[in-house]
Amino acid sequence: MSQTAIMAGAAPETGTGTAVEPRGPRPKPFFTPRKIIIYSVLILFSFYFLFPLYVMIATSFKTMPEIRFGNIFALPQQINFDAWVRAWTSVCTGLTCEGLSPGFWNSVKITIPSTIVSIFIAAVNGYALVNWRFKGSEIFFAILIFGSFIPYQVFLYPLVMITRELRIFGTLQAVILVHTIFGMPILTLLFRNYFASLPQELFKAARVDGAGFWRIFFEIMLPMSLPIFVVALILQVTGIWNDFLFGVVFAGTQNYPMTVQLNNIVNSAQGSPEYNVNMAATVLTGLVPLIIYFVSGKLFVRGVAAGAVKG
Amino acid sequence: MQHSVSIRDLSLNFGSVKVLETLNLDIEQGEFIVLLGPSGCGKSTLLNCIAGLLDVSAGQIFIGGKNVTWMEPKDRGIGMVFQSYALYPQMTVERNLSFGLRVSGMKKDEIERRVARAAEILQIEPLLGRKPANLSGGQRQRVAIGRALVRDVDVFLFDEPLSNLDAKLRSDLRVEIKRLHQRLKNTMIYVTHDQIEALTLADRIAIMKNGVIQQLADPHTIYNKPVNLYVAGFIGSPSMNFIEGTLDGSSFTAEDGTVIPVATYDFADKAKATGKAVLGVRPEHILLGDDAAKMPYSLEVEIEIVEPMGSDTLAWTTIAGRPVTFRAASDVHLEAGQKLVVGFDPARGSFFSSETTNRL
C-alpha cells in the first residue's frame, strides 16, 4: 500500500519530465496541428461555397458598362440599386414586363397553402399510424413510403390528365394539390417517427382520461411537436419555393411562380443579357428560403432543447 | 357477494404469440391485488386489458358487475397510474388533474372541488401551478395518482408506479399508497416486479409466469406455502435454499446420502409423498446455537462466506452437498471458516415434486 502511494506521488516528475505538476483543468492550447488542419479545411470549403454568392451580389450592384469592363471579381465602384429595382418591377418575364413581383406573390400563394395543408395532413397521418393502428396500417405506410422512391417525372402526365378531369389544370389549386401529394411520403415518415418517439403511456393516459382522436391530437400531441413542425416547415417551404417543374406544368401562365419567371428572365433570347439584373433577380428568388433558414434555424435549436425535457 | 373486478377465461394473442391464456381472476370490493412476476410474464398486458387499452382475443371482463369487455377506457370506471407518470408536459399540475374532467364536460365548480380534494389528500396543493418538468420524481408520481383520484372511480390500476423512483422515495411512496388505500377503500390492482412492494401492499398476490397465474393467495401463504418451485424461488430475498433428493414417506434422502426426517411435515397427500423431490428451506428458518439442537434436523457446518446486511447477517455454507444460506442476528459474530451447529424443522420448509414441480 505505502509503496504504491509513493509511486503515484512520484509519477508526475518521472512521467512528464517537467517541473509543473498537473492540477486542475487540462490546458487546451489553441494552435495544435489538429485544429490548424480542421480550420484550414473548413475555411477553404466555406470560401468555395461563398465565392459564387459574392460574385452574384457584387455584380448585381454594378452597372452594365462596369460589368463589360471584365473584372468579375472586383468590388462594385459604387452601390447601385438600379438592377434590383428593374428586376423587381420592370424586367420582361416572357410576355409581360412587370418584373419578378407578380411571380413572388404567386409563389407566396402557392407555398403558404401547400405547406399548411401538407404538414397538417402528414401530422394526422403520422399520429394515426403510431397511435391508432388499424388493420393494414403497416401496409398503408409501406405503400406511402414506396411513393417517395419513384421519380416525379413518371407521375407528370397522369397528373396532368387527373387535374384536367378535375377541371383545375392551370390553376393555383392544381399546384397546391400536387405539392401536397408529393410532400406526403417524406412528411408522414417524419411525423410517424417523431410521434413514435413520444412515450406511449401519455397516449394511454389521455385515453383513460376519455379524450378522443382529435382531442389527443390537438391538446396532447401537437403541443409536444414544435421541433418536428419546424423541421417540416423548413423542408416544405424550401422545397415548394424552389420548385420549378410543378409550377411550370400545373400553374398556368398567369400563376407562374418566381422560379419560372426567373428562368424566363435569365434565358431570355432577346437583346443583350443584363447580367446585373439577372444576378439581382436570382438573389431575390433565393431570399425567402434563406430567411426561412436563418429564422427557423434558431427556432429549431430552441425547439429541440425544449423537447428534450421529458414530462 | 358481487366481485369488484371479474376476469373470465381471458386470452390475448399478438399474432401467434399467446400472452395471456384463459385467465380467471375475481377481485373483491376494496381489495388490494398485486400482480407480480418477471418482465414479460403478461402482468402489464393483463392490466392494460382491464383498462381497455388492449382489445382481448377471447373472454370477458366485468367491473362492478358490468360487462366492460367492449367498453372504452373512460367508461369502465377506472383510473390508471403509469410507470413513466405520463403527465402532459405542456399543462400545469392543476390542468393535468382536471384534463379528464374537462373532457367529460363537467361543471367548473365541481372540477375545482375534486381537484382541491385530490390535492389535499396527496398534499400537492403548493404544486398546482407548476409544470411537470419542474417537479421531482416523487411529486410527479403523486400528481399521476391524483389524476386517477379526481375521476372518483371504483378501481385503481397501478402499472409499476414506483419503478422509476430511487430506493428511499420508493419506500416512502409505498407507505403512502397503503395509507391511501386504507383511507379510500377502493379496489386497487397493482402491477410490479418488486416482491417487497407486493408483500407489503397486497391483500392478495397473484404470481404470474408466461401469462398464467401460478398462485393467488395472501402474502403469508405465498411466502410460507408456495404452490410450486417457481413461486418458491421467485418470492423471498435472499431466495429459498433448495436440496434435491428422494422422499420415501418418513424421511428425505439428499443426493449425497444425507437423511433428513420429515415426520413433522404436513403433506397434502401423504400417499403421494414418494419419489424424487426438492426440499426448500428459507434462510431465516435455519437456526443456530441452542435453538438448532432442538430442531428435528441439525448438523455442524463450516461457514464459507459472510455477508453483513446491517439489520442481520447472511452466511453461506454447504448442507447435503448444496450451497445454503442462512440468516443470523447482526449481533451474532460470524466469520468465514468458523464451525457451528445449525438446524431446521422440515415442517417449516416446503417439499416439491421434482416431476411436476408442485408442492407436496
ipTM of the complex: 0.85
pLDDT in tens, A132-152: 988 888 899 999 888 878 888
- Chain A residue with minimum CA distance to B100: A209
A311/B88 CB distance under 8 A? yes
A256: left (phi over 0), alpha (psi -120 to 50) or beta: beta
Q: Residue B34's beta-bridge partner residues?
A: B190, B205
B103/A210 CB distance under 8 A? yes
- Cis bond before residue B238 (omega within 30° of 0): yes
* Contact between residue A200 and residue A132 where contact means Cβ atoms under 8 Å apart: no
- Which one of B74, B75, B154 makes the best mutation probe of the A interface by having the most chain A beta carbons within 10 Å? B74
| Chain B residues touching A201 at Cβ < 8 A | 82-86, 159
Q: Which three cell numbers stand for residue B225?
A: 406455502
User: Which residue, among B201, B205, B227, B229, has the nearest Cα to B216 in the 3D structure?
Assistant: B205
**What pLDDT, on a 0 to 100 scale, did the predictor assign at position A18?**
59
DSSP for A107-147 reads HHHHHHHHHHHHHHHHHHHHHHHHHS--TTHHHHHHHHHHG
**What pLDDT, on a 0 to 100 scale, did the predictor assign at position A311?**
37
**What pLDDT, on a 0 to 100 scale, did the predictor assign at position A301?**
63
Comparing A300 with A277, the larger pLDDT belongs to A277
B88/A215 CB distance under 8 A? no
Q: How far apart are CA B166 and CA B163, in angstroms?
A: 8
**What pLDDT, on a 0 to 100 scale, did the predictor assign at position A304?**
53
B88/A210 CB distance under 8 A? no
Q: How far apart are CA B284 and CA B261, in angstroms?
A: 19
**Neighbouring residues of B350: CB distance < 8 A, sequence distance ≥ 6:** B225, B226, B232, B240, B279, B280, B359
Identify the structural domains of chain A with CATH numbers, from first to last. 101-268+276-307 (1.10.3720.10)
DSSP for B73-108 reads GGGTTEEEE-TT----TTS-HHHHHHHHHHHTT--H
- Chain A touched by B82 (CB under 8 Å): yes
Q: Over chain B (360 residues), what is each successive 10-residue block's mean pLDDT? A: 87 89 92 92 92 92 92 92 91 94 93 94 92 91 92 92 89 91 93 93 94 93 93 91 87 86 82 85 89 85 90 90 89 87 89 89
Q: Which three cell numbers stand for residue B33?
A: 391485488
Helix, strand, coil percentages, rounded to 5, for chain A: 75, 0, 25
**What pLDDT, on a 0 to 100 scale, did the predictor assign at position B282?**
93
Helix/strand/coil for A162 = helix
Q: How far apart are CA B147 and CA B142, in angstroms?
A: 9
Instruction: Give the type of residue at B72.
Output: E
Q: Which three cell numbers stand for residue B313?
A: 447477517
* Contact between residue B243 and residue B344 where contact means Cβ atoms under 8 Å apart: no
User: Which residue, among B232, B281, B227, has the nearest Cα to B252 in the 3D structure?
Assistant: B281
DSSP for B279-332 reads EEE-GGG-EETHHHHHSSEEEEEE--EEEE-SSEEEEEEEETTEEEEEEEETTS
Q: Percentage of chain A with pLDDT > 70? A: 89
Distance from CA of A309 to the nearest CA of B (A): 7
Q: How far apart are CA B179 and CA B130, in angstroms?
A: 25
| Chain A residues touching B104 at Cβ < 8 A | 210
Q: Taking each helix axis from N to C terminus, what angle separates A226-241 and A172-197, rounded to the nearest 10 degrees?
A: 150
**What pLDDT, on a 0 to 100 scale, did the predictor assign at position A175?**
94
Identify the structural domains of chain B with CATH numbers, from first to last. 5-230 (3.40.50.300), 239-353 (2.40.50.140)
A208/B51 CB distance under 8 A? yes
